[in-house]
Amino acid sequence: MQRIFGILLGFLLVVLRLPAQLPVGSIAPDFTAQDINGQTHHLYEILESGKIVIVEVSATWCAPCWVYHTSQALQDLYAEHGPEGDDKLRIFWVEGDPSTNVNCIFGPAGCNGGTAGNYTQGIDYPILDNAGIANAYQISYYPTLFVICPNKRLFEVDPLSAEDLWTKASVCPVAYGTNNAGIFKYSPGTQLNEICGVQEITPHFTLTNLGAAPLSQATIELQWNNTVVETQQWNGNLYTYDEANITFSPIAISNSGTLQTTVSTINNGANEDDFTNNVRTDNFSQAKSFNTTQVVLKIRTDNYGEETYWEVRDDWGAVLEFGGNQDVGPQGGGSFPLGTPIGPGAYPSLTIIRDTLHLPVNGCYSIHISDAYGDGMCCDFGAGYYRMYNLDNPNSPIISGGEFDEYARRAFGTGALSVTTEAQASVQLELFPNPAHDQLFVDLATTFTEAVQLRVFNAIGQLQYEDKELVPTPEPQPLDISFWQTGVYFLQIQQGNQTITRAFIIEK
């Protein structure tokens, strides 16, 4: 699985065994610092000029840091996209260990604290000897790399090649022109682009102003198979890089098709300076189906079997079966720092694993395959794969794959599916206020008296809250959300074979 940086796994990182650093989407702490040549750099000033910034925090004695440094990945990226290239980004290498002195950056001579070599050799980007930056960015292991977008939001990335780093960094919104808006943090409202039965989705995104002029109006359309299903007229006042949450009403889909979201006009028909980020398209296909509830899963690991983890979930998102390295977890890349000890359940490399899944009832399910390094199971470092078969025909797979990044998700059905749509349901659900702050009211109406199962998932499908025996009442019931983070959530109720999902937003 690893590309040219697979050798990093041969070393142990010195880590503090803490969770990941600053959460994805955090505002990057500002800094003004001198590099080892005496030049001063102000982070926010660079970001406000429209540049993407990559910060690597390392320690001179750290063996994996030295291996990555000598790969020249950051130097290659800087040559192509730095000031001497297309001038789209800046890079800072930060010595973050306060116990080393500045001499360690240049090699062993006069070094206190240890060094692997001369970190200045062959490098054009600035080097900062500044443990204060490491503290501000809550560094818990070396090396740590952050991509910081011009809107000052950051996310962590693994030590990747120059090409892959640029692919990651290219998701940053970058301001251009006068009247310019874009779709970012987009989600079709489901992790699965395969339809099993009737699936309810709630598309949402952040409308971002990328122009110099304030964004005051936008017309936004949602289409399913080229038919407009909803049009929203947004009005407000967004300055450059300001964002507004846009959420469409839930729609039920049951067949293959194309979902398209378009910001069609802005500022009452002003000429758009860049329309390339105004459209998002998702293609949905019909999920594969197995003839019984017993399904054979076959996995062949690649050269790095310890990086694989999988889960099978029901249509509520509950995990029914799992396997592989539990330290990798369901989110894949970035959650398994390079060089950490192999966790429980890890598979050997270049090995075939077979497992018969005993699913409880006919219905809809999904399989989630994660990769710790974020480059799938195939094909540069072994022809790994996952395949799923009918129990009575283990030779022709119904589902197969192996080429993905952090994770692959596939929906599937078993036996004869019977799904009740909301239009036929005897359960009605409304949420208010939306957006909510400290309290959300759940207004539930049903013709039945038995308890309802209620679950709340966050935007990446993790279970946030559960009440398995919610008793319907005539009055709306409050849900305390005062300690939940800002973001989009999905509240789902189930009564019998009826399931309804509603999206809501928390704003602090």
Least confident of 8-22, 350-364, 367-381: 8-22
* Six-digit token string for 488: 């989009």
Looking at residue 332, its pLDDT comes to: 63
Query: Using CA atoms, how far apart are residues 252 and 270, in angstroms rounded to an integer?
Result: 34
- The stretch 364-390 carries a mean pLDDT of 90
Residue whose entry in the numeric block shows the structure tokens 């017309």: 219
Fold exhibited by the domain 181-286: Immunoglobulin-like (2.60.40)
Q: CATH code for 288-414?
A: 2.60.40
Q: Which CATH architecture has domain 422-506?
A: Sandwich (2.60)
pLDDT recorded at residue 497? 62
Running DSSP on this structure, what letter comes out for residue 381? T
Q: Do domains 6-169 and 422-506 have the same CATH topology?
A: no
Inform me whether the pLDDT recorded for 285 exceeds 90.
yes
User: What's the token pair of residue 198?
Assistant: 């009737």
pLDDT, tens digit (0-9, with 9 covering 90-100), for 329-341 = 776 665 555 455 6
pLDDT, residue 242, reads: 94
Q: Which residues contact 264 (CB under 8 A, 6 or more apart)?
A: 219, 220, 221, 278
Judge contact between 19 and 340, C-beta under 8 A: no
**pLDDT at res. 472:** 82
Topology of the domain covering 6-169: Glutaredoxin (3.40.30)
Cα distance between residue 92 and residue 81, in whole Å:
14
What is 94-126 written as a DSSP string? EE--TTS-GGGGT-STT-SS--SS-TTTT--S-
Write down the domain spans for the chain.
6-169, 181-286, 288-414, 422-506
Across residues 320-324, what is the average pLDDT? Answer: 94
The answer to whether the CB of 336 falls within 8 A of the CB of 372 is yes
pLDDT tops 60 at residue 2: no
pTM recorded for the entire structure:
0.72
Residues of the chain by 3-state class (helix, strand, coil), percent to 5: 10, 40, 50
241-251 pLDDT per residue, tens = 999 999 999 88
